[in-house]
């Protein structure tokens, strides 16, 4: 073969590699790959850990901006997304259901997609989007009118656009999709509107539904277009017809444990918040008032949608302690395969990966009032006098007894993703120290209207800080170190084998901490509050780090007295990308 033919073959091969489809194997390897970021969580187990060591404690001071990209226009608000990186392109979703493809070397826009949102959408907690998913030749992301869209990676052209649920009834969708074995798996949002939580699996190529699994007992699942099985047992833990509007939204998306071939999705608060209307105000016979499977973690068979196991973090929930927080597989110090999850209710849980069984739980925020502890059976030991009172027993018939509860309904940890280090064995958990005045009110369900039955005001617990980044040892529950921040933390974390933990603050600072000590090693002012999720990758022998800056989310909308403390913060929308130059890697 002469050199001209060899050159031609090499060129064809290089094109083939550049345009190769993303496979199931690529997704399975995403946590160990260093040149792409194909999944939300930097791997479907959501550890958000990079094996890259180029950037480390010594040289992180040399990290410099490489380029910045503006999401622009008047559509700013909160930017909670995690970028994806593939084949020389970064894909970033933004507020109001938008998506950009950006040249990875230059920061130049390649294409943009704007969803045509109808009037009357009902997002609970800002017009955010938390990211996409890549598979085959497509990128998939959800929209605020409760749809899932497949776009061509190269052109941004729509391949298909499917309806998850009816937005007029209060449904929406903000999470990043999860892809397993050619299925695009989505949850739903809208727990404040009396919807029913559900997980759906679609054929990635066509968008057609393969199976559905509601998260509230009494509702029927489907498989291949036919009814499959009921979720739980009708009226086992729900009174009357309340299961039809029971909440349990799967609004944060899920993780995937390849070792047990299990999807793990969390279900949000039961509807309405007023627990007395759900026969949950006081202990009942057996577990009658638990309101399954709200405020729970569910292990789901990815092939059929059947529930393999469940664990309910807050039975008889009455404080809006959603159970959606991410469930992250890890191996403990004794070699046991475990899950770690930091709940909105203020406790950090360790579960067995085979069956979701409770192992242990410890508090990770201070001054918890609603429960004394989590018992050996995995159920909370309640402080019943810290449950908001029953309006039906109030003298005025309009408002139940007000109590002060810790944590607030925005949680010890809300949506903001934690990360796990395979090197230190620690979880890095963004948390907040706050409480709330909360009371129950009479409420009746009306389609498309808020369905709370409660009022509240959030208050900080301490004068000098609210946000708290904590390093937690999952073997013991011990907090190894804490980094305090004046305003609430509302963005994700990412950590590396180089011994670094990255996260951002509402004050606009993008920070790197020492993963072992919590010492601040580097900081960069991005110009707007950070509520996004960092990533890192390697390109041309250099390590890059990226995060999206843009203040918003639930805190300025629902934060009560806390919102007043941060009302000076500016909105924005900027993708910041940093690199460690080769020449400075050894400094």
Query: From the candidates 126, 145, 320, 322, which is the catalytic residue?
Result: 320
Nearest to 405 by CA among 392, 427, 389, 387: 387
| 123 Cβ contact list (under 8 Å, min separation 6) | 144, 172, 174, 189
Q: What is the sign, positive or negative, of the torsion defined by CA atoms of 444, 449, 452, 453? A: negative
CB atoms within 10 A of CB 334: 7
| E-only strand ranges, 108-181 | 109-114, 133-135, 138-143, 147-152, 158-163, 178-180
CA gap 313, 302 in Å, rounded: 23
Eight-class DSSP state of 354? T
Which of helix, strand or coil describes residue 290? coil
Give Cα separations from 180 to 297, 304, 417, 546 (angstroms): 19, 12, 20, 26
CB atoms within 10 A of CB 443: 19
Both tokens of 338, joined, read 């475990």
| 386 Cβ contact list (under 8 Å, min separation 6) | 369, 370, 403, 405
CA gap 575, 49 in Å, rounded: 20
Q: How many CA atoms lie within 13 A of 50 on its CB side?
A: 28
| 20 Cβ contact list (under 8 Å, min separation 6) | none
CA gap 334, 332 in Å, rounded: 5
CA gap 268, 441 in Å, rounded: 20
> Taking a C-beta distance cutoff of 8 angstroms, is the pair 198, 167 a contact?
no
Both tokens of 579, joined, read 């690199």
Which of helix, strand or coil describes residue 169? helix
| 536 Cβ contact list (under 8 Å, min separation 6) | 50, 52, 55, 494, 496, 502, 543, 544, 545, 546
Both tokens of 562, joined, read 């806390």
The reply to whether 320 belongs to the active site is: yes
Q: What is the sign, positive or negative, of the torsion defined by CA atoms of 51, 55, 57, 60? A: negative
Alpha helices of 508-560 — where are they, by DSSP H?
Answer: 555-558
Which of helix, strand or coil describes residue 275? helix
Which positions are catalytic? Answer: 320
């Amino acid at each position: 073969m002469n050199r001209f033919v060899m050159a031609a073959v090499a060129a064809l091969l290089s094109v083939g590699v550049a345009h190769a489809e993303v496979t199931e194997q690529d997704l399975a390897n995403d946590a160990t790959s260093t040149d792409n970021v194909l999944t939300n969580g930097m791997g479907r187990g959501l550890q958000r850990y990079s094996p890259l060591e180029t950037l480390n404690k010594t040289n992180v001071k040399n990290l410099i901006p490489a380029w910045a990209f503006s999401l622009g226009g008047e559509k700013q608000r909160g930017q909670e997304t995690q970028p994806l990186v593939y084949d020389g392109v970064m894909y970033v979703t933004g507020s109001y259901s938008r998506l950009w493809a950006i040249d990875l070397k230059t920061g130049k826009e390649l294409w943009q997609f704007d969803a045509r949102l109808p009037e009357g959408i009902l997002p609970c907690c800002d017009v955010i989007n938390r990211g996409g998913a890549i598979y085959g030749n497509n990128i998939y992301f959800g929209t605020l009118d409760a749809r899932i869209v497949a776009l061509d990676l190269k052109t941004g052209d729509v391949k298909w656009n499917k309806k998850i649920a009816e937005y007029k009834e209060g449904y929406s969708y903000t999470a990043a999709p999860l892809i397993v074995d050619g299925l695009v798996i989505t949850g739903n949002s809208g727990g404040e509107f009396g919807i029913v939580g559900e997980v759906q699996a679609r054929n990635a190529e066509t968008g057609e539904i393969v199976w559905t699994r509601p998260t509230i007992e009494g509702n029927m699942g489907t498989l291949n277009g036919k009814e499959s099985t009921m979720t739980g047992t009708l009226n086992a833990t729900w009174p009357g017809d309340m299961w039809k509007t029971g909440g349990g939204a799967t609004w944060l998306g899920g993780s995937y444990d390849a070792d047990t071939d299990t999807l793990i999705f969390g279900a949000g608060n039961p509807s309405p918040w007023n627990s007395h209307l759900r026969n949950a105000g006081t202990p009942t016979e057996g577990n009658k008032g638990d309101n399954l499977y709200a405020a729970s973690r569910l292990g789901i068979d990815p092939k059929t949608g059947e529930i393999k196991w469940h664990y309910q973090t807050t039975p008889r929930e009455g404080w809006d302690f959603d159970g959606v927080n991410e469930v992250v597989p890890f191996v403990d110090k004794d070699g046991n395969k475990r899950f770690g999850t930091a709940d909105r209710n203020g406790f950090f849980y360790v579960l067995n990966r085979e069956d979701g069984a409770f192992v242990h739980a410890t508090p990770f925020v201070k001054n918890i009032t609603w429960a004394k502890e989590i018992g050996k059976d995995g159920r909370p030991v309640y402080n019943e006098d810290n449950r908001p009172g029953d309006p039906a027993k109030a003298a005025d018939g309009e408002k139940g007894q007000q109590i002060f509860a810790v944590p607030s309904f925005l949680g010890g940890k809300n949506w903001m993703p934690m990360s796990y280090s395979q090197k230190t064995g620690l979880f890095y958990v963004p948390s907040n120290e706050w409480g709330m005045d909360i009371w129950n009110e009479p409420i009746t369900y009306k389609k498309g209207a808020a369905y709370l039955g409660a009022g509240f005001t959030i208050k900080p617990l301490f004068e000098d800080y609210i946000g708290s980044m904590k390093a937690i040892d999952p073997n013991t529950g011990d907090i190894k170190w804490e980094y305090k921040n004046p305003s609430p933390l509302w963005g994700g974390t990412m950590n590396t084998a180089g011994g670094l933990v990255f996260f951002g603050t509402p004050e606009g600072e993008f920070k790197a901490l020492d993963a072992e000590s919590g010492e601040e090693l580097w900081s960069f002012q991005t110009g707007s509050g950070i509520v996004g999720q960092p990533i890192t990758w390697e390109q041309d022998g250099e390590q890059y780090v990226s995060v999206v800056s843009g203040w918003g989310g639930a805190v300025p909308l629902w934060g009560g007295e806390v919102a007043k403390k941060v009302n000076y913060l500016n909105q924005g929308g900027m993708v910041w990308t940093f690199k460690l130059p080769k020449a400075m890697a050894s400094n």
